[in-house]
Amino acid sequence: MNISFDTPYAGLLVGLSLLFSVIITYWFYIRDKKLIDMKRIVRNILMIFRFVSIFIILILILSPIINSISTYIEKPIIIIANDNSESIKINSDSTLLKKLPSSIDSIVNQLSENYDVKTLSFSNKVEDTLKYSYDGKITSFSNLFKEIESRYSNQNIGALIITSDGIYNEG
């Protein structure tokens, strides 16, 4: 965390405020005969309070700005979305269907070392887990994109990987 104190005016004005506070405080405590007769420790404490009060008021008149900068390092999010519709099962090679889950799991394991990997399955609705049942009735890319936008907007998305046969019948 980085905190800085800025004023729209030059630092010279802060120095002048300091000097002005010292002069005003000294002038008030030298001029007044009642204060000269006080105990030295009491007079010094009162002088310090008056100096600090005047200086703080003058600094506040200069409109200070306190900036606080926090830096967070986030891993990029990689979203892997798998089409879970019946058209995958009907139109694909059976050996490909058997290899697909292990291939996706391998990719997820490799990427999770350096990235925050999120997995989704989609057909007529979007679900948080990878499913390989291929029982969805429709393929809706628009539902997928809307869901990704609602869940991950204003986040650091690095990539979107979609496994699908490319046949869509909605959206």
Domain boundaries, the chain: 2-69, 77-163
Distances in Å between the Cα of 33 and the Cα atoms of 37, 51, 83, 137 are 7, 19, 91, 96
Q: What is the mean pLDDT of residues 72-100?
A: 86
Question: In the structure, what pLDDT confidence band is assigned to residue 79 with cuts at 50, 70 and 90?
Answer: very high
What stretches of the chain show up as alpha helix (H) in DSSP?
11-31, 33-36, 40-61, 86-91, 94-111, 141-152
pTM over 0.75: no
Q: What is the mean pLDDT of the chain?
A: 87
Nearest to 130 by CA among 65, 72, 81, 70: 81
Is the pLDDT at 129 greater than 80, yes or no? yes
77-163 is a CATH 3.40.50.11540 domain: no
Question: In the structure, what pLDDT confidence band is assigned to residue 171 with cuts at 50, 70 and 90?
Answer: low
Question: In the structure, what pLDDT confidence band is assigned to residue 168 with cuts at 50, 70 and 90?
Answer: confident
CB 135 within 8 A of CB 86: yes
pLDDT digits (tens, 9 = 90+) for 30-73: 777 777 777 888 888 988 999 999 999 998 888 778 788 888 88
pLDDT digits (tens, 9 = 90+) for 108-120: 999 999 999 999 9
Is the pLDDT at 162 greater than 60, yes or no? yes
Burial 39-60 (b: 16+ CB within 10 A, else e): eeeeeeeebeebbeebbeebbe
Q: What is the mean pLDDT of residues 140-169?
A: 91
Surface-to-core class of residue 116, CB atoms within 10 Å of its CB (0-12 exposed, 13-18 middle, 19+ buried): middle
